[in-house]
Chains A and B, each alone.
Chain A
Amino acid sequence: DTEVTQTPKHLVMGMTNKKSLKCEQHMGHRAMYWYKQKAKKPPELMFVYSYEKLSINESVPSRFSPECPNSSLLNLHLHALQPEDSALYLCASSHPPTTGVNEKLFFGSGTQLSVL
């Protein structure tokens, strides 16, 4: 199984809503990532979890709250988002970096989020 599964595929939410994005992988990867991608731009890193602990937070606003319940699951909780947060949210996973070697990322198909 070389898949990273993301749900939902599409999400429309109002600025007062609370919603969650979900990501799952069964490749035994112990690093999981959230990326945000705007149209015609490259993915931008938001968060990284390594061995279920938050390793990187790229100064993301607190209205985005990540959670890693176990080694296979990654969530992104959304609250009080702004219209400019509309984007494609991509989950990825990889083996954690070992000395001198970094492993490639596998991406899920993403959640296309629209904030009204």
Chain B
Amino acid sequence: RKEVEQDPGPFNVPEGATVAFNCTYSNSASQSFFWYRQDCRKEPKLLMSVYSSGNEDGRFTAQLNRASQYISLLIRDSKLSDSATYLCVVITGGFKTIFGAGTRLFVKA
């Protein structure tokens, strides 16, 4: 079993749709969780940190469920510019940073 698993997609959604991604992790000692966004041939950029209490930034909402060992990302009112690969990142002790395989999102007009 992979340490961090994501549905690779692709997710094809129309503009204005709501889309949700999940990511599961296997190490219960994992400490920090993030969602990164990566555009084609560009570097990953931090989208948001993920906390048990949940956090929201505009159209984006992230949630951590420690009991079930998954994190989620919800995007509301999708824009064309949201098309990208979304990477789930889990940090387990020290510098051990594990990336999920990424979920590809295509938003179409």
Which residues on A are within 8 Å of B, measured CB to CB?
Answer: 31, 33, 41-43, 45, 48, 50, 55-56, 88, 90, 96-97, 100-110, 112
What A residues does B102 contact at CB under 8 A? 42
CB-based contact B95/A97 at 8 Å: yes
A109 to B49, CA, bound (A): 21
Min Cβ gap A9→B in Å is 11
CB-based contact A107/B97 at 8 Å: no
What A residues does B89 contact at CB under 8 A? 105
Known: A102-B91, A104-B46, A109-B42. A43 touches B34 (CB 8 A): no
CB-based contact B41/A107 at 8 Å: no
Q: Which of B31, B43, B97, B100 contacts A108 (CB 8 A)?
A: B43
Min Cβ gap A52→B in Å is 14
A28 to B95, CA, bound (A): 17
CB-based contact B41/A88 at 8 Å: yes
Q: List 10 A-B contacts (CB under 8 A).
A: A42-B102, A43-B99, A56-B95, A88-B41, A97-B91, A101-B32, A104-B34, A105-B44, A107-B43, A109-B42
Closest B residue to A90 using CB positions: B43
CB-based contact A42/B43 at 8 Å: no
Min Cβ gap B19→A in Å is 20
For the complex, is B101 an interface residue (Cβ under 8 Å from A)?
yes
A104 to B97, CA, bound (A): 10
For the complex, is B59 an interface residue (Cβ under 8 Å from A)?
no
Task: Kindly list 13 other residue pairs between chains A and B, CB separation below 8 angstroms, not including A55-B94, A107-B45.
Answer: A31-B95, A41-B101, A42-B101, A45-B95, A55-B95, A56-B95, A101-B32, A104-B49, A105-B44, A105-B97, A106-B46, A109-B43, A110-B42
CB-based contact B100/A42 at 8 Å: yes
